[in-house]
Amino acid sequence: YSKHGHHDSSIVNMVIMTLIIPPHPVGEISQHKGPPVFTQDERYKMVRAIKWVDEIVEGAPYVTTLETLDKYTSDFCVHGDDITLTVDGKDTYEEVKRSGRYRECKRTQGVSTTDLVGRMLLMTKAHHSNIGHSDYQQHTDNFGKGPKGHSPWTGVSQFLQTSQKIIQFASGQEPQPGDTIIYVAGAFDLFHIGHVDFLEAVSRLSDKPYVIVGLHFDQEVNRYKGKNYPIMNVHERTLSVLACRYVSEVVIGAPYAVTRELLDHFKVDLVCHGKTDVHPDKDGSDPYAEPRKKGILHTVDSMNSLTTDSIVQRIIKNSFNDAMVTSS
């Protein structure tokens, strides 16, 4: 039984048992932590899409009690090593800790909802003006950087990526005979319910889908999205996408153009793109020219209009409202 206002996949990955994740009701989160970015239904759907989650308990109380654990036949409850307190300063896990039915996992340093919100708020400032600086141009990717490294694209410290961490998140499954290999590519920044709905729709195109997600490097994302996108660096985006149950494999630093070599290498049967605009490549060419010519390009309507931009706008609106309340 893992309970948290938001969910760090590194915590979920540690549990080898039936896992019940209860996102808290919006009212309780607002009372104890401030207004959430996502609606209640969006958070339920996001958590259901995490491949390690077996069951969702809707409307779970913010304070975990033994009664709650017993009700859902849970052996223990799990949380990260950050302390969570109620609005009156009490430990939300005090009761289960006393009973010995509490477990703790070390959280991934530098990855939190609060941290991501801070990065998004930076987008309202002119901090991305260093785009023409030589250091910016020479920063070709994020690999080989230490934990205190600074990316001109994400503008934040980076945690150390390791092969072991990727293995923990990856499925390790290769395509099987009869699988339909489907390739999609993009930034998948601030991995959200719009991405989930798209990937779910893509996976439904086949009875045996093998979905490969090509993730563009930070500098490529910044080229076609501008501002200080991406909010999350390529390491964080990789783990976020790998945690999704509809994804089989991730190509880290995929080329922007979907080339014949890429299609042949992965034996791609189908290439999918959403209803969003396709930005031309650096030379002005169509990045989907090859799959279009082969007749394997498919446009998928996720029926969800949520975008990374709209999430940023929600954050800015919440921040503005909070500032107004404070000043009044």
C-alpha distances in angstroms, 325 versus 77, 125, 134, 328? Answer: 35, 22, 42, 5
* pLDDT tens figures, 25-56: 555 544 545 567 788 889 889 999 999 999 88
Phi-psi sector, 172: left (phi>0), alpha (psi -120 to 50), beta: left
Give the global pTM. Answer: 0.79
**Quick one: which H or E segment has residue 80?**
strand 77-80
**Distance between the two ends of the chain, CA-based, in angstroms?**
40
Q: Quick one: tokens of 326?
A: 């404070």
Question: Contact, 274 vs 306, CB < 8 A?
Answer: no
Residue 213 three-state SS = strand
Hey, how many other C-beta atoms are within 10 angstroms of the C-beta on 151? 21
Question: Contact, 91 vs 284, CB < 8 A?
Answer: no
Percent of the chain with pLDDT over 90: 50
Average confidence (pLDDT) over 273-287: 96
Question: Contact, 107 vs 8, CB < 8 A?
Answer: yes
Average confidence (pLDDT) over 237-251: 96
* pLDDT tens figures, 160-219: 678 888 888 998 899 999 999 999 999 999 999 999 999 999 999 999 999 999 999 999
What is the signed CA dihedral for 31, 32, 37, 39, rounded to 10 degrees? Answer: -60
